[in-house]
Amino acid sequence: MGPESDSAFPKRVYLRRFLLEDAESLLDLRVRNRRFAKPFEPHRADAYYTLEGQKEVIETSMRHWDAGTGFAFGVFLRTDDVQSNGLLVGHVNLSNVVRAAWESCTLGYFIDEGHNGRGVATESVGRAVHFAFDEAALHRVQAAVMPRNGASIRVLEKAGFRREGLSARYLKIDGDWEDHLLYAVTREEWGDSA
Ligand SMILES: CC(C)(COP(=O)(O)OP(=O)(O)OC[C@H]1O[C@@H](n2cnc3c(N)ncnc32)[C@H](O)[C@@H]1OP(=O)(O)O)[C@@H](O)C(=O)NCCC(=O)NCCS
């Protein structure tokens, strides 16, 4: 089983863990979306936008996966069009996995600007949460979103997340400490909405 196994999801995309051979596609995705992503992400050094930089991102994600501390998925198109079938269009990360009494992780995601507005993020988040509960046996998935990021708020609401409140100066985004709305879903709620 994996994030593919839930037949309740639409089938626009599939998720799989990153491999080193994805580095060029990931670089292409990142370079094309550099300006689009900037207002929503931490400051990135120029080295990030190089093949070496993206290999490092993937190697780090592989180490986290093997240690069970994070699960980073590429989002790949699933289409009859042979040109674009399997195209990397984004990523979804389950990070900061903590066990013991917390059994929780944080969720992050990014979808290619050219593929926005088609439900790709919502499906990808749903598949990743399914993995978090059914494969990684976690109890809670948390996401943080800036109040001005209306599209991302909508994604979380469509995916069944519950708003918990506002956390002041929560993350440093594009150089500034930004307030974030915290959203979460627990296994009990996910079971209810299935
Ligand atoms: C946010 C993001 C993931 C959305 O991806 P997407 O594939 O377009 O998302 P979906 O198509 O699944 O859903 C988007 C929803 O937001 C709605 N939406 C779009 N812009 C909006 C806005 N400014 N205000 C409110 N809702 C908006 C869409 O209409 C859609 O809702 P609907 O299905 O009810 O019509 C993508 O724009 C992105 O990667 N942004 C940059 C990185 C980022 O913000 N990541 C999340 C950080 S918390």
Compute, in angstroms, the gap from residue 117 CA to the centroid of ligand 1.
6
The span from the CA of 78 to the CA of 82, in Å, is 10
- Domain coordinates of the chain in residue numbers? 13-140
pLDDT reported for residue 9: 84
Q: Which CATH architecture has domain 13-140?
A: 3-Layer(aba) Sandwich (3.40)
The span from the CA of 176 to the CA of 155, in Å, is 24
Which range among 2-6, 138-142, 176-180 shows the weakest confidence by mean pLDDT? 2-6
- Mean pLDDT computed over 47-66: 98
Ligand 1 contacts CB of residue 185 (under 6 A): no
Ligand 1 contacts CB of residue 120 (under 6 A): yes
The span from the CA of 179 to the CA of 119, in Å, is 26
- Mean pLDDT computed over 37-57: 97
Compute, in angstroms, the gap from residue 33 CA to the centroid of ligand 1.
15
pLDDT reported for residue 13: 97
Tell whether the model's pLDDT for residue 7 goes beyond 80.
no
- Mean pLDDT computed over 58-86: 96
pLDDT reported for residue 6: 63
- β pairing state of 104-111 and 88-98: antiparallel
pLDDT reported for residue 3: 54
Half-sphere exposure of 112 (CA within 13 A, CB side): 19
Ligand 1 contacts CB of residue 119 (under 6 A): yes
The 10s digit of each residue's pLDDT in 85-132 is 999 999 999 999 999 999 999 999 999 999 999 999 999 999 999 999
- β pairing state of 140-145 and 104-111: parallel
CA distances, 58 to each of 27, 51, 79, 101, 103 (Å): 11, 11, 25, 29, 24
Radius of gyration for the alpha carbons in the chain, expressed in angstroms and rounded: 16
pLDDT reported for residue 2: 42
pLDDT reported for residue 194: 45
- Mean pLDDT computed over 154-167: 98
- The model's confidence at residue 8, banded by pLDDT at 50, 70 and 90, is confident
Instruction: Say what the pTM is.
Output: 0.95
